[in-house]
């Protein structure tokens, strides 16, 4: 029974794969600066029950970003965070109002399409001009699709901050967003307590990935890395879309 608390009834093979994905996602984000959240979301969407994908991913990301915020908060651009928080509150609030228990197949297809969209297109320009707008739109989307880090990163990049200030600001904005999302899913009735043990392990492995990533800071050709990463994400997204479509046809 105690062991089951730490794998949430999924079994250790799946739980260990999720733990590895959390480590890898944090490592990729720190060492390469891109793609970690999307990799984690794609793996979670393949292995977790559909109803748990977004809330579990959000709480794990909250733990990861809160750790980075704690380490860098002195460099935070506070005015931006305040405006983003107002927008995020509006976005999550609207997402909560519109949220329904989506068909599991629809969630898989939606996440797969969202990953493909994030690979092929950049966030629209108007999202890079206002912290409030970026907070509202990205936070609304995160209630349904999860990994909106690239949207927030595009906004933070437009501020042309120094490296430490960029890291602190992005981590803080994502912490705000994931905190509000976690509260919203709790309000909607998601039983986080049933997943607490596994989520704790995922956060711990993500923190370890952050530490290792900071020490390694792999220097590779960014274009080549992005190409490889996008191929992997595309295959994972295609798998999600195929599985969701097959479920629709069966039902």
Position with higher pLDDT, 83 vs 71: 83
Q: pTM for the full model? A: 0.80
- Given this model, what pLDDT does residue 218 score? 58
pLDDT of 1 above 60: no
Contact 136, 88 (CB under 8 A): yes
At residue 89 the predicted structure's pLDDT band, cuts being 50, 70 and 90, is very high
Q: Report residue 48 as tokens.
A: 């977790």
- Of 28-37, 109-118, 199-208, the one with minimum mean pLDDT is 28-37
At residue 34 the predicted structure's pLDDT band, cuts being 50, 70 and 90, is low
């Amino acid at each position: 029974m105690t062991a089951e608390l730490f794998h949430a009834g999924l079994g250790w093979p799946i739980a260990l794969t999720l733990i590895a994905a959390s480590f890898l996602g944090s490592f990729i984000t720190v060492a390469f600066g891109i793609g970690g959240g999307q990799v984690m979301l794609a793996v979670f969407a393949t292995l977790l029950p559909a109803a748990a994908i977004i809330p579990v991913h959000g709480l794990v990301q909250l733990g990861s970003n809160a750790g980075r915020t704690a380490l860098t908060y002195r460099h935070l651009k506070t005015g931006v965070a305040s405006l983003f928080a107002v927008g995020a509150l509006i976005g999550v609030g609207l997402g909560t109002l519109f949220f329904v228990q989506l068909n599991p197949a629809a969630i898989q297809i939606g996440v797969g399409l969202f990953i493909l969209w994030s690979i092929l297109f950049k966030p629209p320009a108007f999202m890079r001009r206002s912290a409030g707008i970026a907070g509202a739109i990205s936070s609304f989307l995160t209630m349904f699709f999860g990994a909106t880090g690239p949207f927030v990163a595009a906004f933070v990049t437009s501020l042309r901050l120094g490296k430490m200030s960029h890291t602190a600001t992005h981590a803080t904005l994502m912490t705000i967003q994931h905190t509000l999302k976690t509260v919203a899913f709790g309000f909607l009735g998601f039983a986080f307590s049933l997943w607490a043990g596994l989520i704790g392990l995922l956060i711990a492995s993500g923190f370890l990935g952050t530490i290792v990533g900071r020490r390694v800071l792999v220097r590779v050709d960014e274009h080549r890395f992005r190409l490889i990463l996008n191929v992997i994400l595309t295959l994972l997204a295609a798998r999600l879309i195929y599985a969701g479509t097959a479920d629709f046809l069966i039902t």
